[in-house]
Amino acid sequence: MPRHPLFAGATLCAALGFLSGAALFVKPSAAATPVAATTPAAATTPAATTAPGAVDEARMQSADSEPQNWYTGGRDQGGTYYSPLNAINESNAKDLGFAWAYDMGSPLRGQEATPIVVDGIMYTSGTWGYVYAVDAATGHEVWRYDPKADFFFGRNPCCDLVNRGVAVWKGKVYADRG
């Protein structure tokens, strides 16, 4: 898959204190993000009228009103890791099946990131600073970013070549480049 054009001139930024190293920031393309098609009808999200990845203070504070979204590694500002969704329960969990798989491709190394889901798009990171955007309903890749890392640094990693994920904030995807 070719690099997404939004990443062609990605700018290094050290503005996020919670990320180590440099952070890349990019704006997902409105045309590449099928927001209306993947947002549940029962959701009260303004997603159909907002830009892709438009997470801000107001949306974070009202995370429970948009239970289909998983805004942070812990889902909400409190890091509760609790989803208020209730369509799957003890009586029907046995009926669940395989929906889709996404091949993150090479290089094959560890994967530790918690995916972030905003308006039907799942954002996550992989080894070497790769970043992925996947349609959460279908598993189809929306875009992939390859930072063209220097593989020389993979000789002696302490804990493999992993990172802990991405952040989506005000239309930008932030990722640790390592």
Q: Name the average pLDDT for the chain.
A: 73
The burial of 43, by beta-carbon neighbours within 10 Å (0-12 exposed, 13-18 middle, 19 or more buried), is given as middle
Q: Where are the beta strands (DSSP E) in 42-153?
A: 116-118, 121-125, 131-135, 141-145
pLDDT, position 99:
92
pLDDT tens digits, residue range 14-61?
Answer: 222 222 222 333 334 333 333 333 333 334 444 455 688 999 999 999
pTM, full prediction: 0.69
C-alpha–C-alpha distance, residues 77 and 61, integer Å: 7
User: Where does the pLDDT of residue 112 fall: very low under 50, low under 70, confident under 90, or very high at 90 and above?
Assistant: confident
Give the residue from 39, 28, 37 showing the smallest Cα distance to 142. 28
What percent of the chain is modeled with pLDDT above 70? Answer: 69
